[in-house]
Amino acid sequence: MNQSVDIRQLNELIESKSSFVNMLTQGMDQVIIGQKHLVESLLIGLLANGHILLEGVPGLAKTLAIKSLASLIDAKYNRIQFTPDLLPADVLGTMVYSQRTEEFSVKKGPIFANFVLADEINRAPAKVQSALLEAMQERQVTIGETTFKLDAPFLVMATQNPIEQEGTYPLPEAQCDRFMLKVKIDYPKKEEEKLIIRQNLSGERQDLKPILSVQEILEARKVVEQVYIDEKIERYIVDIVFATRYPELSNLSDLKGMIAYGASPRASINLALAARAYAFLKRRGYVIPEDVRAICHDVMRHRIGLSYEAEANNITSEEIVSEILNKVEVP
């Protein structure tokens, strides 16, 4: 009985604390037509303190979406355009020698912001991509001998194009694993595209004003942390992740030859965190299996290594995740 009272209180708390979700969504809708999944994913990353990798062909408003979200929140936003000649110091910052004082001082790079847009991240070589690793995982940056803590919230939102692979550097597995979600963005529907044309021809795109403070986001995150996850849901998450490592134990023997390596424990953690944030967006104080299923593809698609056999048969990690969701028993 106590549990149900707690849940009711939680639901009321979430109802009162989640009003900004509608405001943010409406703000994004003023600039971006369609792409509901993209907007939802950005909010999940924001609430669950996770970084997001967006993949889609050019012109699908990936950069615009991130920029719009940053405009709606009164926070520091920096954009880094990744290019083949970029250096780690261009991202993190470096030590600068002053002749006047005859001392080295730290010049901080664009990574020191609340929202960092890493545009076309796969255009820069691995040494630059790996410069982000410490910042993304530990929320800190080391320049010379000094380590600086990054301000919360700190969110890296990276974009990459799946086409034009000449002159690009695929993200290393360790880097991919640092992203909570990898969101694939598709073309808009016909009706949406008509509206996009109309909006751009009339030039009536609105300037977005901040409607949310950093403090309010940090408070909302505390509420998200209270969202209840039952032991059955935890077991369900672990079953899904284990099915990528040992498919034969989940009656998925035909997938064994398709998977080179399964998802890491980070996948389980991120599935739980993202499911909580998703439940919060749906104004619920507890996680249900549908929440896990809704975010499963975004959390898992970049964490499953495909074998040569899978690539030869044109089998994608999407299909593997769908197959696992169909087989693993839902609590």
Dist. CA 119–CA 80, nearest whole Å: 6
**What mean pLDDT do residues 92-112 have?**
86
**What mean pLDDT do residues 312-317 have?**
88
Per the DSSP assignment, residues forming a β-bridge with 119 are 81
Q: How many helices (DSSP H) and strands (DSSP E) are in the chain?
A: 14, 13
Which residue segments constitute the domains of the chain, with CATH numbers given? 18-85+111-201+212-220 (3.40.50.300), 228-327 (1.10.8.80)
Q: What is the pLDDT of residue 7?
A: 79
What does the block give as tokens for 62?
């990936």
Q: What is the pLDDT of residue 2?
A: 42
User: Is residue 278's pLDDT more than 70?
Assistant: yes
Q: Model confidence over 214-248: pLDDT tens digits? A: 888 888 899 899 888 999 999 999 999 999 998 88
The percent of residues above 70 in pLDDT, for the chain, comes to: 96
Length of the chain in terms of residues written: 331
Q: Per-residue b/e over 288-299, b at no fewer than 16 CB within 10 Å?
A: bbebbbbbbbbb
Which residue shows structure tokens 């009164």?
Answer: 74
Tell me the residue type at 37: H
Q: Model confidence over 138-180: pLDDT tens digits? A: 899 988 888 899 988 899 989 887 766 666 788 888 788 889 9
**What mean pLDDT do residues 120-144 have?**
86
Which residue shows structure tokens 């409607």?
Answer: 211
